[in-house]
Amino acid sequence: MGKSKTRIILIYTGGTIGMVKDFKTNSLKAFNFKNLLDRIPELQLLECDIHTVSLKKPIDSSNMNPSYWLQIAEIIESNYQKFDGFVVLHGSDTMSYTASALSFMLDNLAKPVVFTGSQLPIGDLRTDAKENLITSIQVASMQDKGKPVVKEVCLYFEYKLYRGNRTTKLNAENFQAFASLNYPDLAESGVHLKVNHEYLFKPNLRKKFKVNKVLNENIAVVKLYPGITESVLKSIFETSNLKAVIIETYGAGNCTTESWFIDILKKYIFKGVHIINITQCAGGSVMMGHYETSSLLKKIGVISGKDITTEAAVGKLMFLLGQNIPAKTFKTIYEKPLRGEMN
């Protein structure tokens, strides 16, 4: 008996990949998913069964929010047993945020979820969409002895497969739009698809797949800059119902040592607001206490985001706040890698 074909589901959320030019306004907007498949007859040549599902109203990913994350997670949940792999077509602007959030929402994931999109629409002569889509489907179809090779949420773009929650969109123009500066590539596509097996996430296969659906959006992200004022910082912390703040500090986690700054942080930590220190550098890690300019943060109980990206820090925070973790253990849990998102 011949080997049965792998079953892949394509989840179309929107993004440039499926956009067309509105000639009245001269801007790109999302269009019907059916047209997308008509434009890639090559998909018929792949040795897998491809099914498609689309958000009711595809979006530019700049309109992405946690309610869409939930819709994507629920599509995966309801098709989890029926399919071997999942490919999510998504705008590149916020793809790293969605891939990161999904990595936390999909608990004990044992199948591939590959995010991809493109810089040019699929109908464009010089499009990058076809290669991105075809190789993403191949990644999602990869099997070894009847079991998926990739068992995590990843992102494929311009010949590289990355761990989704390690990526950042670094370039708005180049085909190579994404980077994973703190974690090696999971695979590279050339003449062969070269998988770096040692870097793939190894989930506990005895645990049952489940979707974490509760996310708490009562957070803020603050990027430090020389000249940030006390009133700006105060107004952010005074936001009603605020549960946590991610601070993008300088370099290895450093900030001003001015007393007003530390006092605000101290006051809100005392009130139960979690504060996470991540670096605004694209690569490298927070090391609180390495410089004098970060040792006070460590002393007052700021959480170290280590080498996490902003995108993953946001997803992890909304997820953990949704888990009702006791205040005492929140710091310890946040500082632990849950899905390979930090070292």
Among residues 62, 171, 235, 323, which is the contact residue for ligand ASP, using CB under 6 A? 62
Among 100, 119, 138, 285, which residue interacts with ligand ASP (rule: CB under 6 A)?
119
If one asks whether residue 91 binds ligand ASP (CB under 6 A), the answer comes out as: yes
Measured from the CB atom, the residue of 6 and 61 that comes closer to ligand ASP is 61
Kindly name the residue from 16, 116, 168, 249 that is annotated as catalytic.
16
Closest to 136 in 3D by CA, of 70, 50, 60? 50
- Which residue has its beta carbon closest to ligand ASP? 91
Report the 10 Å Cβ neighbour count for 337. Answer: 13
341 binds ligand ASP (CB under 6 A): no
Q: What would the DSSP string read from start to end of 287-322? A: -TTSSHHHHHHHHTTPEE-TT--HHHHHHHHHHHHT
Among 167, 97, 91, smallest CA distance to 132 is for 91
Stretch that binds ligand ASP, among 66-74, 91-99, 130-138, 289-297 (CB under 6 A): 91-99
- Single-letter code of the amino acid located at 163: R
Binding region for ligand ASP (CB under 6 A) out of 10-18, 227-235, 260-268, 333-341: 10-18
Establish if 58 lies at the interface with ligand ASP (CB under 6 A).
Answer: no
Give the range of 54-62, 159-167, 234-242, 327-335 binding ligand ASP by CB under 6 A.
54-62
Is 117 a binding residue for ligand ASP by CB under 6 A? The answer is yes
**Contact residue for ligand ASP among 66, 73, 84, 92 (CB under 6 A):** 92
Q: CB under 6 A: which stretch of 60-68, 184-192, 264-272, 311-319 binds ligand ASP?
A: 60-68
Count the neighbouring beta carbons within 10 Å of the beta carbon of residue 236.
16
Pairing of strands 210-211, 187-189: unpaired
Q: Does 18 bind ligand ASP (CB under 6 A)?
A: no
| Least gap, CB of 222 to ligand ASP (angstroms) | 24
| Helix, strand, coil percentages for the chain (3-state, nearest 5) | 30, 25, 45
| Cβ–Cβ under 8 Å, residues 275 and 269 | yes
Look up 25 and say whether it is catalytic.
no
Helix (H) or strand (E) holding 189: strand 187-189
| C-beta of residue 97 within 8 angstroms of C-beta of residue 314 | yes
Q: Quick one: which of 8, 10, 15, 66 contacts ligand ASP (CB under 6 A)?
A: 15
C-beta separation of 310 from 246 below 8 A: yes
Site for ligand ASP in 143-202 (CB under 6 A): none
**Interaction site with ligand ASP (CB under 6 A):** 14-16, 60-62, 91-93, 117, 119
As annotated, the active-site residues are 16
